[in-house]
Chain A
Amino acid sequence: MSFLSRLKPRGGVHPEGRKASSADTAIRAMPLQQRLYVPLQQHIGAPAKPVVRVGEKVLAGQLIGAGQGNISAPVHAPTSGWVTAIGDHPAPHPSGLPAATVIIEPDGEGRWIEADVPADPFALAPDDIAARVGAAGVVGLGGAAFPSMVKLDASRKSGVDTLIINGGECEPYLTCDDRIMRERAAEIVSGIRLMQRAVGAANALVGIEDNKPEALAAMRAAAAATGVEIRAVPAMYPMGWEKQMIQVLLGREVPAESRSADIGVLVHNVATAWAVQQAICLGRPLVSRIVTVSGGAVAQPANLEVPLGTPVQALYDACGGFNARPARLVLGGPMMGHQLTHTSVPVVKGTSGVLALTQSEIGLTQPAPCIRCSSCVRACPVGLLPLEMAARIRTDDLAAAVALGLKDCIGCGSCSYVCPSSIPLVHYFNYAKGELMAQARGKLKQEATKKLAAERSARMERIAREREEAAAARKAAKEAREAAAKEAAARAATTEATA
């Protein structure tokens, strides 16, 4: 009983897939644009440091930004051309704030750097595989963009028994993982085996949602006799949440505030496996990715293989532009993606989709009072009480929201999706999380301020005390001198008198 219930996904919603429009056409290569805007930070962690100068000629795959610190990833030139500027450009971030970006003007030749290809990739030492993955700038392509080398290294050291490859592309509209599995299954399987070797995992499992039968068939064919097991998982949102995937495939639950490696599991996305294969077997760093361009307002939805740094406007143009007025442009999937503020923002390593949605696709947005229907409670894959948390946050009682489990919220948006009152629940949660972070920063600063103020007042006191002491010493010395003079005078007087 408990074993069965453990294998069952919790909560979740079944949004309309709307995948057919982009799933049935093959991946197309995106034509090269006149300028590529390559941000130096396309990953979680420290931004890369530019290692090229303005005016410098670069080749495709050439390092332009070196990773710095423990958690970081390098950035490479997507094509050959010239570096025309290194400066600020709107980042693919909900705020639309600028970020450091290397701007490259392609020369159109697309010449690659000389690749370092090992004779037998499967004979490489595990740490060598991880190092090559790191040097190629591979990050999690499912959207989180966490540097893959860091995960591989940590997992090799802590020891994992199972490598899970996440093919649970659960966001509506997105089909980039579906297409890459259908078209590049052999490469993905090679990538999986390389990663399996890199971490020493005994098992490799690929979980693919059962609404992608073609991808399942292609992957099964490619994985035959490789030891990589392909398994269908129920299609639901958020199946692609790695902890959900682990639970459904293995029946193991990752403890709160922990990573999956703590229970001996490493999870990577299918597209990441492909990028690993490209990095090791072809010596090609990560300079392009598959992006789904879809939505009701896009004339010809498609999957494009896009050089990183391509502005999203070009993606819409390459898909025939808009055939309806888009009510909202979205970067990523509709459930967790964010609204685009500029169409000049570039495609980065974590960009899985670029959508143009009509108002009817977005649905209701006018909030109404909560009727406590608890649809959100049933939908939450984590087992939280979204309605209660939002009510606390609305009255600025963040501590109560944290006590209800705010920090365990994964922001999947299932609660907002099902809310009949259209309450922006996940907006409340992300606001509160940001506010808590700001408060933590403020607290650190307040402590530093107090320390500085205390040091200053101590110093002031010391200076005052020293001044006082000096004055007292001077006074004492003067008095001593005067007393001595008086004494001398008195003595002189007495001697005079006696004389």
Chain B
Amino acid sequence: MTPLAHSPHAHAPTSVSRIMATVMLALVPATLFGFWLYGWPAVYLWTVSLLAAVAGEAAVLRLQQRAVKPALLDGSGVLTAWLLALSLPPWAPWWIAVVGSLFAVIVGKQVFGGIGQNVFNPAMAARVMLLISFPLEMTTWVPPMSQLPGMLDSLAVTFGGTQLDAVSSASLLGHVKTEFTRGLDLQQALSGHYSPLQALWGERSGSLGETAALLILLGGVFLIARRIITWHAPVAMLAGVALPALLMNLIDPGHYAGPLYHLLSGGVMLGAFFIATDPVTSPNTAAGQLAFGLGCGLLTYVIRTWGAYPEGVAFAVMLMNAATPMIDRYVKPRIYGRTRKGDILAAQPAKKDAA
């Protein structure tokens, strides 16, 4: 006998794999731009990331004697690896991608019990792990070049680990931080290295898929339109970066860069639209997501400006991930007919003389 089915006897046309697929679709423009900008090594790195994540997840699921296919088909592992790849230096060696992807899906996700159970965003956890463990490989950037290596030469870049020094450059955030230690002020540090238009379009050195601010914004807007994410966390995160930047810039423009510089550099755009909106590790309510996003933005700014690392998005997101259960505990929607505290609303009696 089939068990009695409970209502509702209808279901919205949605599923976890459909959500993941939509997010990946939203990442396609920024990813393709990254491929175009940094050439074949970027393609190889991205591919290695995805393959490592799938293989690692499958292996771990088998070890746990859990069904492999449904967990792989939900697409969350692939998405995690994709996001991680976008945050890596495009010419990083292959093993960076492998170690990062395995760490993301195994330690970042499966160890917690699989999809939906992890406390930290797996991609950001892996990025932080890589940044701390392999600082050199993780901060060696390439400038966008007119002369990119060919398909075969690129194999040597990704898999051979050669010629990196010849092309290495600093990311803008790292460059500014270094120049500050040399006693230069912001104007001098930025001269010749930064133009807002260029930053908006994304033609600069940086992570594989973090530079194209406009294309990331396009993907984010697409996700909001498809109701996969809401505007709360991204807008709050951007505000969390922009507001202190504006304030400090007004106080001392010689030392503190303006909001546009901060919004368009590093991983802020990708973080705001694709990382801070990770459903698993962000709060449940709109108000909670605003608080979460604001926290991510503020911490990013603080780490960038006064911390040891030039970029702070991954750290900021992880810190706010840790705060998510607390936010969820204190920020709850008001229940109909009750006050925020859960007490019953006072009744308004009938209006006897209402006309």
Contact = CB atoms under 8 A, between A and B. Distances in A.
- A and B: partners? yes
B349 A263 contact: yes
B16 A255 contact: no
Contacts of B47: none
Interface in A427-461: 427, 430
A253 B344 CA distance: 11
Nearest to A295: B9
Contact of B350 (A263, A339, A370): A263
Nearest to B329: A388
Contacts of A374: 279, 283-285
Contact of B337 (A16, A257, A378): A257
A254 B10 CA distance: 29
Interface in B5-30: 5-16, 18-19
Given A256-B336, A374-B279, 8 more contacts: A256-B338, A264-B348, A363-B10, A373-B279, A374-B283, A383-B334, A421-B16, A426-B6
A372 B333 contact: no
A330 interface: yes
A417 B347 contact: no
A63 to B, nearest CB: 34
A378 B229 CA distance: 11
Nearest to A403: B342
A161 B350 contact: yes
Contacts of A364: 11, 15
Contacts of A392: none
A327 to B, nearest CB: 9
Interface string B313-344: 00000000000000010001111111000101
Given A364-B11, A420-B15, A262 B347 contact: yes
A371 interface: yes
B9 A408 contact: no
Interface of A: 10, 13, 15-16, 94, 158-162, 172, 202-203, 243, 252-258, 262-265, 328, 330, 334-339, 341, 355, 357, 361-365, 368-375, 377-378, 380-385, 387-388, 405, 408, 411, 413, 416-422, 424, 426-427, 430
A326 to B, nearest CB: 11
Given A372-B280, A382-B335, A383-B336, A255 B347 contact: yes
B348 A420 contact: no
A160 B230 CA distance: 41
Given A255-B345, A258-B337, A373-B279, A418 B4 contact: no
Contacts of B4: 94, 339, 341
A-B pairs with lowest CB-CB distance, top 4: A264-B350, A363-B11, A256-B337, A413-B8
A264 B332 contact: no
A334 B337 contact: no
Contact of B7 (A202, A253, A264, A337): A337
Interface in B226-256: 230
Tell me the dominant secondary structure on chain A's binding face. loop
Nearest to A429: B6
13 contacts: A162-B354, A202-B354, A255-B347, A262-B349, A335-B7, A339-B4, A361-B10, A362-B11, A369-B115, A383-B336, A408-B336, A422-B11, A430-B6
Size category of the binding interface on chain B: 35 or more
Contacts of A161: 350-352, 354
A252 B116 contact: no
Contacts of B342: 405
A12 B8 CA distance: 14
B355 A254 contact: no
Contact of B284 (A243, A253, A368, A385): A385
A357 B346 CA distance: 43
B16 A253 contact: no
B258 interface: no
A338 B5 CA distance: 8
B70 interface: yes
A365 B334 CA distance: 30
A338 B7 contact: yes
Contact of A383 (B6, B12, B18, B335): B335
B10 A158 contact: no
B185 interface: no
A341 B5 CA distance: 10
